[in-house]
Amino acid sequence: MYIASSEQLAGWLGALGVPAPPVRTLPVRDVAPGVVVEGLVPELVEEVHALHRRFHTGKVGVTDDD
**Per-residue pLDDT tens over the stretch 7-61:** 999 999 999 999 988 888 888 889 999 999 999 999 999 999 999 999 999 876 6
pLDDT for residue 47: 96
pLDDT for residue 65: 58
Helices in 1-66 by DSSP H: which ranges? 6-15, 28-31, 42-57
pLDDT for residue 50: 94
pLDDT for residue 64: 56
Contact 57, 8 (CB under 8 A): no
Which is it for the CA torsion 42, 47, 50, 51, positive or negative?
A: negative
How far lies 19's CA from each of 15, 16, 48, in Å? 10, 9, 19
